[in-house]
Amino acid sequence: MAGVIVTGGTGALGREVVRGLLRDGAAVAVPYRGDQGWQALRDSAPAGASLWGAPVDLADAEATARFVSDAAARLGGLAGVAAIAGGYAGSGPLEQAPPDEWTAMMSANLDSVHHVCRAALPHLLETRGAIVTVGSKLVETGGAGAAAYTVSKAAVIALTRVLALENKDRGVRVNCVMPAIIDTPKNRSAMPKSDPSRWTAPEAIARVVVFLLSPAAAPVTGAIVPVDARS
């Protein structure tokens, strides 16, 4: 596999997806926001790995499209997109949440996926590639106190299904993974009284993402895959 874009590639889950792809011999492009995270990712890459990145605001459709075009040129085409970038906010009941929380969650979780998928699809149609998005089990289990986050993730799931239907006869597969709580240092700090043994390790989720991007998953499209076995 060659030529995969991983948004959110400097985050806890994204880093593991990048590492898994690089171990499988893929060339990976990562749009990033902070130099420190990118430097750490680059320093941890295996020797000889093909890893390229550039600073991008994924909320900016034109900037995202330029990045995708540059990535396709540098990597010799695109075989996949792992649309992992996103964020979480949950400030309480809808009427009490800050007005900008809604806009922020739609931008971080939905617009970032929309922009990268829209720009990448012409390239993926040429290679009969694949897209993997990230939803959230909160869409199924509740989401009270985090309306903006939950609705934005529900929209990602809907977008995944639409893209899968639009592209199933054009050779591009589109699937979504559905984590609950991911076992990260940030989540452990935010929820010190919770039981992290019930959470899912990012590397375990990453293995599913890498599989769904691979030719081994050729029969799978439009799937909403739970990755929360112990939650």
CA distance 9 to 31: 7
CA distance 146 to 169: 36
Range 55-86 burial, b when 16+ CB lie within 10 A, else e: ebebeeeebbeebbeebbeebeebbbbbbbbb
Cβ–Cβ under 8 Å, residues 126 and 72: no
CA distance 9 to 207: 14
Active site residue 149: yes
Q: Phi-psi category of 76—alpha, beta or left, where left has phi over 0 and alpha has psi -120 to 50?
A: left
Q: What does the block give as tokens for 95?
A: 């009427």
- What is the edge-to-edge ordering of all strands in the sheet holding 51-55? 51-55, 28-32, 4-7, 80-83, 130-134, 173-178, 224-226
CA distance 105 to 87: 7
List the catalytic residue out of 32, 38, 67, 149. Answer: 149
Pick from 205, 231, 219: nearest CA to 20:
205
Give me the active site residues, please: 149
